[in-house]
Structure 1
């Protein structure tokens, strides 16, 4: 049996840091309010001229280096983003050119905060089918470009960044299963309502912003992530105690703690970066994963559960033997 094995990780955050105290100066909020409700203390925000592809390139190069590979080894690029540099070509194609890679498939995946989990599922199936042997999977966002900085309910939550992994075909266990879901009936609860085919003037004038009904999203996220945990464990005939690390989407510390309780897992075995990164959407899970790997927390042979929930609604999980 062929598995997709993670052989390298990489992450990148813009140098520009915005703290809760910085936000107090521009919107009616407070450091205490943000910390209590979200766990966020600061976030990294891309400066003018710094694009999603810029962030993705840095994370990708670090992942490729960590994998002991060079760009010419890559034969598939799947990039998850909600904030592409251009309508087209895809940000994956722009990244492909920057890395000096030619000829292999390269495309974007859009599932908002679940984007990286979706991208991992896609790449895993390419490798299992024999269509790729060495895949670069990235989650990258300049999500701050979608924020209304006068809306205190959303602008305090998000940040920018990129995370990446290199997957290689292997007979050693790697990705054990992926579980991807969506339900478009809930679109209005978390959305950017305007796009190229609907409200182009707003997009052109940079007036297309995130709209979120926070309490309803919170309840759905907690319940849905609980179900995806059960589904993943049942599919693999595992017990909750078999999971060594939970790598959750970094949206809100209360959602993260609720998912950990579902697994009966100590927070010592949960990777948490939301306090330093905020919600970086598709970059959230790979950034947290890279931090934990580089800090030496996650070790080879351990069983990892990645999970995420995002606009759509979309949700999913990846079970990995690292």
Structure 2
């Protein structure tokens, strides 16, 4: 039986609160002006959004809040409603709770019930993993319309009383790299007025015998006395490895899709930080492809970020355009890709 084309009918996104620029971060954490300049030069991320109020400490938006807003916007943009959705898949590295799953809480908010719903816990490739699962399930012919989401919140890891000046650079960088947000896409076996066809998706674990590049701890009641940071990142190894792995991912994606390097119109590179994304893009061999990035304005929002890239991409596409998105997760090293074509 011939598998149907899978269409991206729409994308919706959500950001919490106002943008927090580097000067605001420096003032809030009593850091010198040189720290602000260090962020600009060595990180290259100018602003980000936080679900937690930096002045009061109040958590103003949860991952469920953000996912609900993004999902609702995606559905409205697609011209479909909650009753049309017969599959949901969420990718996140920061679920609101261990249980109930955040995807089920978002479904409840949207009035969606009686369908399969999956939550994938993963770092930067989680959104691609969610898209891959939805793509394969839709191609099976058992489902027609999927709502695919990515939502992230750093609120649990933001210590507003920490002495930032006393932290080593590897921990300081986590506070400026990441931001909060959510995104959603409606995938369907039925084309919409401006939909784009998913030509290929892939996800590959490449971490055999490689130490994790990032570790995010989960603390329970018995662990409350544990000393040490909740997030540990080997940024030097990430700097070294991610451009190489991203290039491998792009080559594999183009091979799967049957495309040549010079047939690519748009490139959606990994969004680690402004500086790292520029370095990765230089390393990727995609002559003539226009870059679609947003990490400098939004910060690294993890599994939400690919949806912000897609939101910028879709209105630009004209018939025949081809786009490739790639991602690299450093926690245990995963590569992923997504190929899209406007037909």
The alignment's TM-score, normalised by the length of structure 2, stands at 0.85
1:194–1:208 CA contact under 8 A, matched in 2: no
Q: CA deviation at 1:30?
A: 2.3
Whether 2:77 is the aligned partner of 1:66: answer yes
Change in Cα spacing, 1:275 to 1:49, as seen in structure 2 (3 Å) is same
For the 8 Å contact 1:117–1:306, the answer to whether it is kept is no
Alignment partner of 1:45 is 2:65? no
Match of 1:33 among 6, 15, 38: 38
Does the aligned pair in 1 maintain the 2:94–2:152 contact within 8 Å?
yes
Q: 1:27 and 1:164, CA in 2 relative to 1: closer, same or farther beyond 3 A?
A: farther
CA displacement at 1:188 relative to structure 2: 3.3
TM-score where L is the length of structure 1: 0.90
Residue 2 to residue 81, structure 1, CA distance change in 2 (3 Å): same
Please report the RMSD computed on the Cα atoms of aligned residues, expressed in angstroms. Answer: 2.4
Aligned partner (choices 212, 220, 234) of residue 241 of structure 2: 220
Partners of 2:126 and 2:303 within 8 A in 1: yes
| Aligned-residue offset at 1:300 | 5.1
Does 249-258 or 120-129 show the bigger shift?
Answer: 249-258
What is the CA distance between 1:244 and its match in structure 2?
Answer: 1.2
Q: Which residue of 2 aligns with 1:169?
A: 189
Alignment partner of 1:237 is 2:239: no
Stretches of structure 2 that go unaligned for 5 or more consecutive residues are 53-58, 165-170
1:303 maps to 2:314: no
Tell me by how many angstroms 1:50 deviates. 1.3
Q: Which residue of 2 aligns with 1:320?
A: 340
| Shift in Å, 1:195 | 4.7
Contact kept in structure 1, 2:246 and 2:270, CA below 8 Å: no
Structure 1, unaligned runs of 5 or more: none
Match of 1:17? Answer: 19
- More deviation in 242-251 or 183-192? 183-192
Query: What is the alpha-carbon distance in structure 2 between the residues aligned to residue 206 and residue 84 of structure 1?
Result: 23
Q: Which residue of 1 aligns with 2:87?
A: 76
Tell me whether 33-42 or 247-256 shows the greater mean CA deviation.
Answer: 247-256
Deviation at 1:49, TM superposition (A): 3.9
Whichever of the two has the greater Rg, that structure is 2
Of the candidates 215, 222, 230, which is equivalent to residue 191 of structure 1?
A: 215
Aligned to 2:167: none
Deviation, structure 1 residue 36: 1.8
